[in-house]
Structure 1
Amino acid sequence: MSDAYALIHGAFRWQVPDRLSIAELCCGRWARETPDAPAIFFDSDSGCRAQYSFGQLQRAANRLSNALRRLGVEAGDRVGLVLPQRFETAVAHIAINQLGAVAMPLSMLFGPDALAYRLQDSEASVAIVESGALAAVRSVRAQCPALRQVLVVGESEPQDGEAGWMAALQAEDARFAARDNAAEDPAILIYTSGTTGAPKGALLPQRALLGNLTGFIASQNWFGFDPHDPKVRSEAVFWSPADWAWTGGLMDALLPSLCFGRPILGYQGRFSPEKAFELMQHYRVSHTFLFPTALKAMMKAVPHPAEHYTLRLEAVMSAGEAVGDAVFDWVRRELGVTVNEMFGQTEINYVVGNCARLWPAKPGSMGRAYPGHRVAVIDDDGQVCPPGQIGEVAVHRRDGHGDLDPIFFLGYWRNEAATAAKFTGDPLDSWCRTGDLARTDEDGYLWYQGRADDQFKVAGYRIGPGEIENCLVRHEAVANAAVVPKPDAERGALVKAFVVLAPGRQPSAALTGELQDFVRQRLAPYEYPKEIEFLDSLPMTTTGKVQRRVLRQLEADRAAGRVA
């Protein structure tokens, strides 16, 4: 295929208006122009299904904006959202943004300590909570003095200081005059888990959604899309299992889909490979964002999906970990599309990736900088590394034309020191460091090498776990794998792999030897795992990333005799 990358990237220029509102981009204009067009499909493991239009979304958001204003919420105030993928979540984001307040999404998986820290640190004045997470919020309510009111979504009897969602909205007018937000105004506060220290709140401005769109268009193969063409709109459906409480689900799925006037499916239930295929078939999903862990599980559970399901996928985007050539080839062979890998983080999301229609994807590569973003691999001194040299992925404040890139976050919530440490150079002419290691090739593609704190040395060789993990997953017996260093008195460390087996496979000494030989024959001699431990599951973050630090700490504790 032809490579149009240089032409597209070089010709692109940002046009960011001074006044900009996520609520208007994602709902207001569509509610006026095409109020009956579908916005949200809803499905759940309980069997409940529903469909909502942009007009319904706007009217519900107007009622909620009035209800929140009645509760004293003003521009700049933080509103916590402990909600899953459902209609009310989209309503809440539009309503909060119309007020000029700041939405703070929180995962339904958070326990009391995680909720308490974020509610306290942000000084959220109101929380909108799904009944499934209500007990956890109630248990920490006394520790959050700024939290004046809780709106309860779902079937649960409100207590003192709480109100039911339906009753609160039914008491309000369906009309609301939205605030005229500025592009620089804060819109969303998302706490990053990080690898060390307490979570930090990344404050995103209204313009951040605009900064995301070039990557969303490219990774989802949406070039040439005409949002005013009813036929195109009716045939496009987006879905992702990514939690809408995280950047991947919110900024890479929910808000961009609505921004382009396209419907998105919200599924409230546990992920399973079979359920994923069922949803994509039933709702005729055309575009999807699937984490590598999800794709691996789908590949192992349903090797030949076309034999069981009728799909109409046009694009698959993936992020969070390296996809690897085994999954890459499976998606292309069995799903009929080329997976577009991408890279970003909460502070500067959607900056690197692929677009299979416009430039060739290289299996295992993160891709190249999306239009409007200036991305490089830099060394400790902030100098750009030559091709082949491993360094830290960084994004410049200004694009190749010298214009300010709108994708950047405003800073960490009340943490100027952490914000300053994120950048190298003059504040308005600086590199933002990601903490992720990569190398570039001669064509400008980036190749992920892991987090800076994931790499380790064995016998003088620097080991990146991703390549070994990808190799292991290519074996038919392996569903997932994580590689960490095991402390060793003589060599400093040994390569150790934690492996989750595919359904029907059992651990054995013979299989251990087979997997070691499998890696030894395909990678460098020093990279094969000297030890393999089989687990039922790997420790994962709520965003689908393997928590290697948990396994590293386990090995460190074992070596020190702290655990058996």
Structure 2
Amino acid sequence: MHTKLRPSSYEEFQASFSLTIPDKYNFAFDMVDATAAADPARLAMVHVDDADVRREYTFGYFSEQSSRLAGALQSLGIGRGDKVMIILHRRVEFWTVMLALHKLGALGVPSPALLTAKDITYRVNFASIKGAIVDESVRATVEAAKLDCPTLTVQVLAGLEQPEGDWHSFSRIVDDASPVFSRPADAACGEDPATIFFSSGTTGHPKMVLHNFNYPFGHIMTGSYWHDIEPGNLHLTLADTGWAKSTWGKFYGQWLAGGVVFVWDFRGKFEPARLLQVIADHKVTNFCAPPTVYRFLIREDLDAYDLSALRHCTTAGELLNDSVFETWVEKMGMPIYEGYGQTETTLQIATFPFMKPKAGSIGKPCPGWDIRLLDENDEPCPPGVEGEICIGIEPTRPVGLFSCYLQDEAKTASVMNGGYYRTGDKAWMDEDGYFWFLGRIDDLIKSSGYRIGPFEVESALITHPAVVEAAVTGVPDPDRGQAVKASVTLAAGYEPSPELTKELQNHVKKVTAPYKYPRIIDYVKELPKTISGKIKRAEIRARDEA
């Protein structure tokens, strides 16, 4: 297994890091079962439910429970290559299910509880999903979807004590199964298909992103180095299990680094004060959340909580505003380390503990990832010039890069060509080699010869107390080509007015380059978003064009 390096600089890290994947690697057998065999009492998870009840789970527990479930699912007809939708919030059963499917060679399809019946029907039919293992809270939605899903033949409900109709009881089938599930001679491993994530695309239907059995090993970079987990550390990533970010921060890399996964299974609305109390009460040491969460946390009285155990903080998913970064450093005495990746990848670019963080920068390329910024002619971009983030895939692909978009050869070919995987994201690099994210290529605004990234303007706007959220898009303009438009939701106590519009425009001119200010400000009650919370700028553009 990987031995954690202790580099003193980024250059030393790049020069010394290497990743060797064991032959025929299967995370469930080779990490979880192997750990349980050597030290069954080793702590794997601390779980706090919505009623604040704390439970602890060992590797011995996950090894046995996943073996029981693998045997139970096999008896129900789930086997190698079958696809199983998983909707379990942050229940402990999620980890058991993922491990059991790894043992069977079946493909887990983690999905969010916010899906509608129509969403589930589309996904099940598009992917030919055979099984569904879900939380009782989404039972009715799955039942409504199943009417139009002929391939969905196995249904398991977590929270059900006795079988009912077409539903099997999760606890019953696990309790009745054998605690032993021997590794098959031809167990799925290596580049065999393992997991499917439906990406929450901001345009059109979601894509099926296929990862293989080597994918977990790619998260050594995430857990050991970016999250800086040491053996025994208690790591909390806030993500729900319906998204790829949960496997980034609540599973593979954290266990491979020797850490303990901390799970807070809260339901309903996020409450920043309650999160701080949970971190304090349970002595969380490592924490990862999107910038939005940090924006809420710094509004709380941080001195009211004992956060002395917290030693390392990270963020990803959107840009971190300078003001949030600086306030966190001032109040907590530690920086927030940014990172960048996609559903299609593991961590690609990051700021590590042995690097000086720059507020707003996503950091430098991870070792093992050949990251280039390429212009429209596939030429490398010099410092200060924006380009598309591209990943070299020849002669070897980095560990953690997705296999393909399932059942979409044309889409796969459009992003994997010329020796690169083309992310569709824009960035620029400074003279020190730090990358600065600009946004999706389609979201960039071309105005009077300038190219303006929406994040820059949005970040400037939300530093004004009147603005809760902002989405910046380009609208056709006869003189400029495009004009910058901001769709804004206001904080309580503020009302739309020409005076406020002028104030916000002047504010942006002071915070960022004056030419980037929004010439149009549209006040809205809410912004259109995907179910994962990403702003649908394409929908705003479509409305404007209509």
Same fold by TM-score, threshold 0.5 exceeded?
yes
The residue aligned with 1:467 is 456
Alignment counterpart, residue 432 of structure 2, candidates 429, 433, 443: 443
Counterpart in 1 of 2:3?
none
From 297, 322, 333, the equivalent of 2:330 is 333
Q: In the alignment, which residue of structure 1 is the partner of 2:360? A: 364
Q: Is the 8 A contact 2:234 2:284 kept in 1?
A: yes
Label 1:476 to 1:383 Cα distance change in 2 as closer, same or farther (>3 A). Answer: same
> 1:384 maps to what in 2?
380
Q: Partner of 1:420 in structure 2?
A: 413
Query: Relative to structure 1, is the Cα distance of residues 332 and 392 closer, same or farther in structure 2, using a 3 angstrom cutoff?
Result: same
Alignment partners' CA distance in 1, 2:466 and 2:162: 48
One-letter code aligned to 2:272: P
Distance 1:146 1:35, change over 3 A: same
Displacement of 1:414 in angstroms is 1.9
Residue 36 of structure 1 and its aligned partner are, at CA, apart by: 2.0
- Offset of residue 204 of structure 1: 0.3
1:4 maps onto 2:9 in alignment: yes
Paired letter, 1:468: V
1:269 aligns with 267
Judge which range, 138-147 or 454-463, deviates more: 454-463
Q: What are the residue-to-residue correspondences of 1:169-184 with 2, within 5 Å? A: 169-179=174-184, 180-184=187-191
Counterparts of 1:156 and 1:517, CA distance in 2: 61
State the match for 1:152 in structure 2. Answer: 157
Are residue 294 (structure 1) and residue 299 (structure 2) matched? Answer: no
Residue 207 (str. 1) matches residue 207 (str. 2): no
One-letter amino acid of the structure 1 residue matched with residue 514 of structure 2: P
Q: 2:55 aligns with which of 44, 50, 56?
A: 50
Q: 1:396 aligns with which of 392, 395, 399?
A: 392
Deviation of 1:272 (Å): 2.2
Q: Does residue 344 of structure 2 align to residue 347 of structure 1?
A: yes
The alignment status of 1:16 with 2:6, answered yes or no, reads: no
Please report the TM-score for the alignment, with normalisation by the length of structure 2. 0.92
State the Cα deviation string for residues 388-413 of structure 1 (Å, max 9, x = none).
22111011125xxx654222211111
Code of the aligned partner of 1:136: T
What percentage of aligned pairs have identical amino acids? 30
Whole-angstrom CA distance in 2 between matches of 1:377 and 1:25: 37
Contact 1:40 1:264 in 2 (8 A): yes
Which residue does 2:403 correspond to in 1?
Answer: 410
Counterpart residue number, 1:545: 534
Partner residue in 2 for 1:217: 224
Instruction: Give the aligned residue type for 2:434.
Output: Y
Q: Shift in Å at residue 194 of structure 1? A: 2.2
Q: Which moved more, 1:243-252 or 1:69-78?
A: 243-252
The runs of 5 or more residues in structure 2 that have no matched partner are 1-6
Flag the 1:374–1:512 CA change in 2: closer, same or farther, 3 A: same
Q: 1:481 to 1:308 in 2, by over 3 A?
A: farther
TM-score, L = length of structure 1: 0.89
* 2:472 maps to which of 483, 499, 516: 483
Letter in 2 for 1:393: I
Tell me which amino acid in the other structure corresponds to 1:144.
C
CA 1:550 to 1:313, structure 2 compared with 1: closer, same or farther past 3 Å? farther
Distance 1:283 1:540 in 2: 33
Q: Secondary structure at the match of 1:86?
A: coil
C-alpha contact 1:86 1:268 (8 A) present in aligned 2: no
Residues 3 and 476 from structure 1, CA distance in 2 versus in 1: closer, same or farther, beyond 3 angstroms?
A: farther
Aligned partner (choices 17, 25, 33) of residue 28 of structure 1: 33
User: Is the alpha carbon distance of 1:298 and 1:507 closer, same or farther for their aligned partners in structure 2, counting shifts above 3 Å?
Assistant: farther
- The SS at the match of 2:182 is coil
Q: Give the Cα–Cα distance (whole angstroms) in 2 for the partners of residues 269 and 8 of structure 1.
A: 40
Alignment of 1:104-119 (within 5 A): 104-119=109-124
1:201 to partner: Cα distance = 0.9
The alignment status of 1:454 with 2:443, answered yes or no, reads yes
Mean Cα deviation higher: 157-166 or 452-461: 157-166
| Cα-Cα RMSD | 2.2
Is contact 2:338-2:361 (8 Å) kept? yes
Q: Deviation per CA, 1:496-533: give whole Å up to 9, x if none.
A: 22333446655555443322211112322321122334
Q: 1:251 to 1:26 in 2, by over 3 A?
A: farther
What are the superposed Cα offsets for residues 242-273 of structure 1, whole Å, 9 maximum, x if unpaired? Answer: 12221111233322223334222222313222
Structure-2 separation of matches of 1:503 and 1:315: 33
Q: Write out per-residue CA displacement over residues 474-500 of structure 1, whole angstroms, 9 at most, x where no aligned residue.
A: 234433322122444554543222333
Cα–Cα, structure 1 residues 321 and 210, in superposed 2: closer, same or farther, change >3 Å? Answer: same
**1:259 counterpart = 2:256:** yes
Contact kept, 8 Å, 1:201 with 1:413, in 2: the verdict is yes
SS at match of 2:540: helix
Equivalents in 1 of 2:176, 2:310: separation in Å? 42
Residue identity in the other structure for 1:184: E
1:369-404 alpha-carbon deviations (Å, 9 max, x no partner): 112111111123333222222111011125xxx654
- Residue 438 (structure 1) shift: 0.6
The aligned counterpart of 1:137 is 142
Q: CA deviation at 1:3?
A: 6.6
Rounded to whole Å, the distance in 2 between the matches of 1:173 and 1:268 is: 32
Deviation, 1:536, is 4.6
User: How far off is 1:319 after superposition?
Assistant: 1.1
Partner of 1:75: 80
Residue 66 of structure 1 is matched in structure 2 by 71
Q: Deviations over 1:417-453 (max 9, x none)?
A: 221111122xxxx110100001112222111111011
Q: Please give the alpha-carbon distance, in whole angstroms, between the structure 1 residues aligned to 2:236 and 2:530.
A: 20
One-letter code of the match for 1:281?
A: A
Q: Is the 1:214–1:372 contact (alpha carbons within 8 Å) kept by the matching residues of 2? A: no
Q: Give, in angstroms, the shift of residue 543 of structure 1.
A: 3.3
Distance 2:31 2:146 in 1: 32
Is the 1:243–1:250 Cα contact (8 Å) retained in structure 2? no
Give the 3 Å change call, closer, same or farther, for CA 533–308 of structure 1 in structure 2.
farther
Q: 1:312 to 1:536 in 2, by over 3 A?
A: farther
Residues in 2 aligned to 1:501 and 1:272: alpha-carbon distance in whole angstroms: 20
Moved more, 526-535 or 120-129: 526-535
Q: Establish whether residue 515 from structure 1 lines up as the match of residue 504 from structure 2.
A: yes
**SS in structure 2 at match of 1:35:** coil
Distance 2:346 2:381 in 1: 22
Which consecutive segments of 4 or more residues in structure 1 shift more than 6 A? none
The 8 Å contact of residues 215 and 352 in structure 1, kept in 2 or not, is answered as: no
Return the alpha-carbon distance in structure 2 between the equivalents of residues 190 and 451 of structure 1. 20
**Partner Cα separation in structure 1 for residue 313 and residue 358 of structure 2:** 15
In structure 1, distance between residues paired with 2:50 and 2:218: 34
Q: Is the contact between residue 384 and residue 429 of structure 2 (CA under 8 Å) also seen in structure 1?
A: yes
Give the counterpart of 2:309 among 305, 309, 312.
312
Q: Residues of 2 paired with 1:177 and 1:458: CA distance?
A: 62
Structure 1: which 5+ runs fail to align?
228-232, 558-564
Q: Tell me, yes or no, if the aligned pair for 1:326 and 1:470 is still in contact at 8 Å.
A: no
